[in-house]
Amino acid sequence: MATYVIGDVQGCHKELCRLLELLPFSTKRDKLWFVGDLVNRGPESAAVLREIIALGANSVLGNHDFHLLMIAAGFQKAKKIDGLDDVLTARDRDDLLYWLRHRPLAARPMHDCLLVHAGVAPSWRADDVMRHAREVEHLLHSDNEKTVRAFLKHLYGNKPARWHDSLRGIDRTRTIVNIMARIRFCSADGKLDFSEKRGPAYAPAGMRPWFMHERRQTADVTLVCGHWSTLGLSLMPNVLMIDSGCLWGGMLTAVRLEDRAVFQTPGQKIQTEI
């Protein structure tokens, strides 16, 4: 049995199909995971969701996935560059959104591996990551529509700008989502910065990429993430960043976790600006 993880697809269905043809993947014996951002900006978000569901694969939630859920709930307006109409007007819209809403925020596809979309706070241990993810999932996966809508209604925002264990209510769950689905740069004590999307050389004052802090408490496991396309494919000893910019004319990447074998297919330059 092998475990494959695929980077940010963002509605690029044709590229996903080509990559799947390259993988020695069997639905009967192997596991297939995605790092989130399954939808948005690309031309075929609905087809991507249907493909993944049909494969019996799983995914953590990314910021673009949350964006779709927010629009569908009526709490966010679609942007001109969004490519979500095919989901929002689909006959199976409710089924696609239900499946997406019930994805985890973090996962352990292997014992020594942790999967999140963007990253983690330097002070969090692996068990903390999973525990905080369950807090969000308890609300998002609820069968009570009022609970789900109350969570989504107040989800967007950059504050609180720093994680602290004493956070409560929506401030706490918003910060958990912002860290796992949006983080790039942060300070050693957990202050977040969402203004810069380029690489480490452009770090705001007092900030470093989340994975470069010396005392990061998840250094004892392998973190697999997407989100940061400007880094490209970056395979470090205990961090695998696999958003290689398919949407921007880069590659769509899959990694087999057992031996870190890499499989790639080229993408089209669908978007020209972040």
Res. 183: pLDDT tops 60 = yes
Give the mean pLDDT of 189-204. Answer: 93
Its CATH architecture, for the domain 3-266, is 4-Layer Sandwich (3.60)
pLDDT digits (tens, 9 = 90+) for 146-156: 999 999 999 99
pLDDT digits (tens, 9 = 90+) for 87-101: 999 999 999 999 999
DSSP string, 30-60: -EEEE-S--SSSSS-HHHHHHHHHHHT-EE-
Full-model pTM = 0.96
pLDDT of residue 80: 84
Tokens coding 223: 């973190």
- Cβ count near 43 (within 10 Å): 15
C-alpha 77: how far from its chain's center?
A: 21
Task: Indicate the domain borders of the chain.
Answer: 3-266
pLDDT digits (tens, 9 = 90+) for 208-224: 999 999 999 999 999 99
Give the mean pLDDT of 120-127. Answer: 97
DSSP string, 165-230: TT--HHHHHHHHHHHHHH--EE-TT-BEE-S--S-GGGPPTT-EEGGG-TT-TTTTSEEEE---GG
